[in-house]
């Protein structure tokens, strides 16, 4: 049987998580929304930031393909590239939906890697 002291302790932990984690995060999110409402997302600074972010993602993908670690290191390079091609094809067919591309790539890679 659960005592009321244990139940209030669990509630206090969730309340502390809310106060220490969620509320400060929400404050900064709303501040960002309010402060950036009038910024032009087609300005040269934002275009540069978008390009840098794209380069970082490309670098991570290249590292995962060419220099993998952990369980991915045991998957042949052809299978890894096949997963990339499958992900890009699904992404394009799904009208550039990132989630569909990611799910297709991960699913294809897992399915192909299970044969090796």
Domain extents in the chain: 1-38
First to last CA, the chain: 49
pLDDT value at residue 15: 86
Which parts of the chain sit beneath pLDDT 50? 1-2
pLDDT digits (tens, 9 = 90+) for 1-24: 445 555 566 788 888 888 888 888
Tell me what percent of the chain is helix, strand and coil, each rounded to the nearest 5.
80, 0, 20
pLDDT value at residue 116: 77
Q: Enumerate residues 6+ apart whose C-beta is below 8 A from 27.
A: none
């Amino acid at each position: 049987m659960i005592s009321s002291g244990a139940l209030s302790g669990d509630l206090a932990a969730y309340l502390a998580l809310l106060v220490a984690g969620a509320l400060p995060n929400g404050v900064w999110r709303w501040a960002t929304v309010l402060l950036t409402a009038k910024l032009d997302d087609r300005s040269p600074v934002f275009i540069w930031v978008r390009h840098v972010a794209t380069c970082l993602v490309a670098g991570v993908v290249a590292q995962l393909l060419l220099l993998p670690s952990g369980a991915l290191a045991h998957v042949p390079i052809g299978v890894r590239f096949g997963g990339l091609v499958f992900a890009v094809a699904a992404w394009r067919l799904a009208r550039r939906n990132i989630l569909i591309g990611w799910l297709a790539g991960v699913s294809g890679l897992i399915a192909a890697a299970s044969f090796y």
